[in-house]
Structures are given as structure tokens and as C-alpha cells.
Amino acid sequence: MQIIIFLLEVVMIGFLLDVELLSLKSTEEPKAQYSCYSTFNSIGENVLELKDLTEAQKISAWTNSRLKEEMLQEFPHLEKMSLLINNRIKDDLIFKDRLIEYMENIHGQYLAQDITYEEFRRALVNPDPTLPAF
């Protein structure tokens, strides 16, 4: 009887480990999928190359990029975030301009106290592509 219980425990632990590994793998894949758009400049800073991509691909690459995570470290300093975007996204300027305009719009809502600090941050983490500025 003890052997049967032991074997059941081993099977359950193995099953739980497999489920955990699958969930970890599924959360890492989107970042890896978009890592081909990230390069480094001459001083070792992360740069996002978005030339020749569709608008949807640019949004996805930005949303899953390390550069976005770096930008969020500058939150809520709009000037620093805008400077980072201007200097480290290589694009045809349309995407950068729309992203900065979107951030300025949300920042204005935050300053007008239309949205909270948490809503401001959430809007930057998950940009809404249906909004006019984005």
C-alpha cells in the first residue's frame, strides 16, 4: 500500500512539474519571438529596429520589447520616456510620433486627474491601438 501511495505521489509531482514548465515556456515565447527586432547601439544601449514592419507588428514588437521595460523604469517622467523613444527606436518616425503623442495624451489625463497613477501606468504598459493617437 505504501508503494502505491509513493508511486502516485511521484506521478503527481511529475505532472505538476510538467504543467509549471509549460506555463513558463508559454510566457517566455512572445519575448523571444520579438527579440530579433532588438539590437544594441555603439554604447551598448538596447535599440528597437522597426523599419519595414506593419503597424500591428510594430505595436507587438514594442509591447514585447526590453526597451519598453526600460522606458517604464523612467515612469512617470514624460521627458525622459520621450527622449528614450526618440533616441532608441529606429523607425520611419510615424510610429515614434504616435507613441509619444499617445503618452502625452495619457500624461495630460493624469495631470488633469482624469485617471489615477495606476491607470496611467497600465495605459503605458498596454497601449490601446484603437485610440486616435495610437
Tens of each residue's pLDDT in the chain, 134 residues: 778 777 667 666 765 556 555 544 444 444 546 567 787 888 888 898 888 888 888 888 888 888 888 988 988 888 999 999 999 999 887 888 888 888 899 999 999 999 998 998 888 888 766 555 54
14 domain-assigned: no
- Count of the separate structural domains present in the chain: 1
- In angstroms, the CA 119 to CA 65 distance is 21
Please tell me the predicted confidence (pLDDT) of residue 25.
Answer: 44
Question: What residues make up the domain containing 102?
Answer: 33-125
- Determine if the pTM surpasses 0.75: no
Please tell me the predicted confidence (pLDDT) of residue 42.
Answer: 83
25 domain-assigned: no
3 domain-assigned: no
Give the ranges where the chain is alpha helix by DSSP (H): 2-34, 55-63, 66-73, 78-88, 94-111, 117-125
Answer whether 120's CB lies under 8 Å from 106's CB: yes
28 domain-assigned: no
**What is the chain's length?**
134
106 domain-assigned: yes
Mention every residue, 6+ apart, whose C-beta is less than 8 A from residue 43.
none
- In angstroms, the CA 114 to CA 104 distance is 14
